[in-house]
Structure 1
Amino acid sequence: MNDWDSHVEKQKEICNDYDSLWKPINKDFKVGVSTDLNSDPLNGLRHNSEDGTTGWFIWSGEYEEREDFFKPLCAEHLLRIKPEVIKYLGLDIGFRFLIGKDNYQDVWFDKNVSEI
């Protein structure tokens, strides 16, 4: 599971299941992540990418409105610490996901995110 390419088909399945275009990210680009990725639930949302970023922001637990809440992390490094989120990273701009205990999964398009 630590091979980036092994997640491509699952990304395409997720996109198909939720009517999203498949928009793969560059594994060398940055994802914004919270310091703690071990609390439930785990959230993700995709903005437009800019300057070497994927546009993805991922956090666990409660979101906090702090300037330093997100730290940059190479997407390939995210694969090593949270491989379960990689299958969502092909979703298009404006999509969000929420995963939690007992294989809980929710994926949806958030028009407000896509317009930022």
Structure 2
Amino acid sequence: MDNTLFKFEKEVQERQKLICAKYGAIYYHTPVTQLLGIATQTFAAVEWPINGLRNPIQSEQSSNWYIWAGEQFSDTADFFEPMHIFHLRDNHPKILDYLGLPPGWRFLFVGDDHYEDVWFDESLLRI
């Protein structure tokens, strides 16, 4: 990892630890070089809320985070596209703050400071 990416990851980790502390979750290191699944087509209309859920980790390459905008997501095979986490800094930097939550956690937010909900969903661990 180059020095710029390393510095970026350290900055993100501090914000992630704050979110984990706020909601009583154990911080789970998530390298910015890992992949996540993102429904990029749902962001085109700038729909709210932004949603994320984390399934159990299945490989070292994937964070098993799934991110989408809007009320619902589709279960079609092509709904989520793989993306390296560090690419979120360009278009969706606030999402980065939640990615230190461990598997089984979800988040939802509207705007930068309008509404935020973070919770543990045990059903995500039974996938």
Q: Structure 1 length normalisation: TM-score?
A: 0.91
Cα contact 2:9–2:31 (8 A) shared by 1: no
% of aligned pairs identical? 35
Shift of 1:25: 0.7
* TM-score, length of structure 2 as denominator length: 0.83
Distance across 2 between alignment mates of 1:99 and 1:21: 20
Does the alignment pair 1:106 with 2:117? yes
User: Does residue 37 of structure 2 align to residue 32 of structure 1?
Assistant: yes
- Higher strand proportion (structure 1 or 2): 1
RMSD between aligned residues = 1.5
Look at both structures and tell me which one has the larger radius of gyration over its CA atoms. 2
For 2:97, what is the secondary structure of its paired residue?
helix
Q: Matches of residues 1-116 of structure 1 in structure 2 within 5 Å?
A: 3-35=8-40, 36-37=42-43, 38-51=46-59, 52-61=61-70, 62-101=72-111, 102-116=113-127
Work out the CA distance in 2 between the residues paired with 1:54 and 1:79: 16
Amino acid at match of 1:106: D
Offset at 1:58?
0.3
Letter in 1 for 2:21: N
Provide the C-alpha distance between the structure 2 equivalents of 1:9 and 1:28, rounded to a whole number of angstroms: 17
Judge conservation of contact 1:4–1:79 (CA < 8 Å) in 2: no
Paired residues of 2:56 and 2:124 also in contact (CA < 8 A): no
Structure 2 Cα separation of the partners of residues 109 and 41 of structure 1: 18
List runs of 5+ in structure 1 lacking aligned partners: none
Give the aligned residue type for 1:95: W
* Larger deviation, residues 10-19 vs 87-96: 10-19
Give the Cα separation in 2 of the matches to 1:97 and 1:58: 9
- Contact 2:16–2:27, Cα closer than 8 Å, also in 1: yes
Tell me how far apart the structure 2 counterparts of residues 22 and 53 of structure 1 sit (CA, whole Å): 17
